[in-house]
Amino acid sequence: MDPMLIIIAIALAAFVFFQFRNSRKRQRETAERQTKIVVGAEIMTNYGLYGTIISLDDDNNMALIESTPGTVLKIHRQTILKVVEPDEPAVSDVTAEAAVTEPEVVDVEPVAEPEFGERTDAPAKPARKPAAKKTRE
């Protein structure tokens, strides 16, 4: 057998394996997301709209969400990107103390060579000599 044919067959098998694995992973994530989508959950749609689920219609794949008080929107269930979980501020005592302290001043010696893009006081370019006038003969 040709070694190139074997390499192509192995590459194709690896490609199929990784596609199958990624498909399974996406299915698992979708199933997990669907279990979190319940009435009263704070959600974000795939076009960036935040809201709270008021009701779900599994037969028509529709959801009613309230984006602002009194504004109810009817959306397709598949446009729900994720359930938003409230952020808990995790500020420890060490972090709070570090935020209050003054930054330490360090003496830095000037750099001999200029940084990239920094202007320098380069000597002026020499003046150009005027072009000699051509005379007609």
Where are the domains positioned within the chain? 1-36, 39-86
User: Is the Cβ–Cβ distance between 114 and 120 less than 8 Å?
Assistant: yes
What's this model's pTM, rounded to 2 decimal places?
Answer: 0.47
33 vs 95, residue with greater confidence: 33
Per-residue pLDDT of 51-83, as tens digits, reads 999 999 989 989 999 999 999 999 998 898 888
At the top level of CATH, the class of 39-86 is: mainly beta
- B/e letters for 43-54, b = 16+ CB within 10 Å, e = fewer, are bebeeeeebebe
Question: If you compute the radius of gyration of the chain from its CA atoms, what whole number of angstroms results?
Answer: 33
- Report which of 73, 80, 66 is spatially closest to residue 30, judged by C-alpha positions: 80
